[in-house]
């Protein structure tokens, strides 16, 4: 029997648990030339802001051991162009659409989400309250529990479909922030955004990024992301978790689901192999068959921890 790959988050059904991560495939147009987006559980867009942003000047990415640093600075087309030029393409795709939203003021988040609420094709929004690469806003909303609760609650009032809060790993207790998001009315959390990092050119003595620091992503951060997913799953927070960080093949997907993730997002590894998500779906299905499991959801939170 073919295993059932479907998962449900906040009443919304996804064909499989594999999503793209924000910022790693723009608005999906290029990825759709590699494989039909219907093969994904969901496409998550680049963060959308009130006004268009060019982002930081190059160099804004640098390779690291088992990962990469980026300080793109939220380069995006802005909400007007997103609704006019990108939504028509996304509307035609047979996959769930999650729009990631960022802002430097709470009023910006609210305005963007109110406009996205008018667009029925947007299944969920993901609030980027955790970006380490902008001067204003960015992590500020997601590193303080009170600000997290306030931001989610404000957006909750204007967006009638599910809201995901994307959490930062650059905090003392991610479980505390997840609880604050739950109290604000979030329907799910995605864990994690990038870890703050830097790298220096020893010939010029200059940082390798013009922003001086950036966000570390890729396989290097997978153990951190897994531990944070597990910590939130083990906490009082009852929200479904979307695991993100260093996922490069189906084995990583299985690990995240065992630690408590209902679904996962794939980011940096898309730059290495853009068709990776399709291979992950196949690999996950074969793994479930081998383990004689009927459904992907049978994996969620089933890690057999020592001492329990
Ligand atoms: C080049 C690049 C751009 C990113 N842009 C965004 C963004 O606009 N909004 C956001 O919430 N996360 C952004 N992220 C973070 C990813 O969505 C993801 O949380 C992070 O990269 C960890 O996953 P990974 O290790 O699979 O890449 C970006 C990551 C990269 C590498």
pLDDT band, very low/low/confident/very high, at 308 (cuts 50, 70, 90): confident
306 falls within a domain: no
Nearest CA owner, ligand 1 atom 15 = 193
Q: How many angstroms separate the alpha carbon of residue 292 from the centre of ligand 1?
A: 34
Query: In the structure, which protein residues have their CB atom closer than 6 angstroms to any atom of ligand 1?
Result: 21-24, 46-47, 70, 72, 74, 100, 128, 131, 166, 193-194, 217-218, 221, 244-247, 266-269
How many domains does the chain contain in total?
1
Cβ-count burial of 2 within 10 angstroms (0-12 exposed, 13-18 middle, 19+ buried)? exposed
304 falls within a domain: no
CATH of the domain at 98: 3.20.20.70
Q: Report the share of the chain in percent with pLDDT over 70.
A: 97
172 falls within a domain: yes
In this prediction, residue 142 carries a pLDDT of 86
Q: Which residue segment(s) compose the domain that 253 sits in?
A: 7-299
305 falls within a domain: no
229 falls within a domain: yes
**pLDDT above 60 (res 35):** yes
Nearest CA owner, ligand 1 atom 19 = 193
Is-catalytic flag, 259?
no
pLDDT band, very low/low/confident/very high, at 139 (cuts 50, 70, 90): low
Q: How many angstroms separate the alpha carbon of residue 66 from the centre of ligand 1?
A: 15
308 falls within a domain: no
Task: Tell me whether the omega of the peptide bond preceding residue 59 falls within 30 degrees of 0, making it cis.
Answer: yes
For residues 128 and 103, is the Cβ–Cβ distance under 8 A?
no
Write the DSSP string, 174-239. HHHHHHHHHHHT-SEEEE--PEEE--B-TTT--BSSTTS-EEEESGGGHHHHHHHHHHHHHSS--S
Q: What is the per-residue pLDDT across 74-98, written as a single tens digit (0 to 9) for each?
A: 999 999 999 999 999 999 999 999 9
97 falls within a domain: yes
Indicate yes or no: pTM above 0.85: yes
For residues 241 and 189, is the Cβ–Cβ distance under 8 A?
yes
**pLDDT above 70 (res 138):** no
């Amino acid at each position: 029997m073919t295993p059932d790959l479907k998962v449900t988050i906040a009443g919304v059904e996804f064909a499989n648990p594999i999503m793209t991560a924000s910022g790693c495939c723009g608005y999906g147009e290029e990825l759709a030339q590699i494989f039909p987006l219907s093969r994904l559980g969901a496409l998550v867009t680049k963060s959308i802001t009130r006004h268009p942003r060019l982002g930081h000047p190059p160099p804004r990415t640098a390779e690291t051991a088992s990962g990469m640093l980026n300080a793109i600075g939220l380069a995006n087309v802005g909400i007007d162009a997103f609704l006019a030029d990108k939504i028509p393409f996304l509307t035609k795709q047979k996959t769930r659409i999650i729009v990631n939203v960022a802002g430097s003021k709470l009023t910006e988040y609210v305005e963007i989400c109110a406009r996205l609420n008018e667009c029925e094709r947007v299944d969920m929004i993901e609030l980027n309250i955790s970006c380490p690469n902008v001067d204003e806003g960015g992590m500020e909303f997601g590193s303080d529990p009170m600000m997290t609760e306030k931001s989610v609650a404000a957006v909750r009032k204007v967006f009638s479909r599910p809201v995901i809060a994307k959490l930062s790993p650059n905090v003392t207790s991610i479980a505390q922030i997840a609880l604050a998001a739950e109290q604000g009315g979030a329907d799910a959390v995605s864990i994690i955004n990038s870890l703050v990092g830097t790298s220096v050119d020893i010939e010029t003595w200059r940082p390798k990024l013009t922003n001086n620091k950036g966000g570390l992503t890729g396989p290097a951060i997978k153990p951190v992301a897994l531990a944070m997913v597990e910590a939130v799953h083990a906490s009082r927070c009852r929200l479904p978790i979307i695991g993100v960080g260093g996922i490069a093949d189906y084995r990583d997907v299985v690990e995240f689901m065992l630690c408590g993730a209902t679904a996962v997002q794939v980011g940096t590894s898309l730059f290495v192999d853009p068709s990776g998500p399709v291979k992950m779906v196949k690999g996950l299905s074969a793994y479930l068959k081998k383990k004689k499991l009927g459904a992907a959801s049978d994996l969620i939170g089933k890690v057999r921890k020592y001492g329990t």
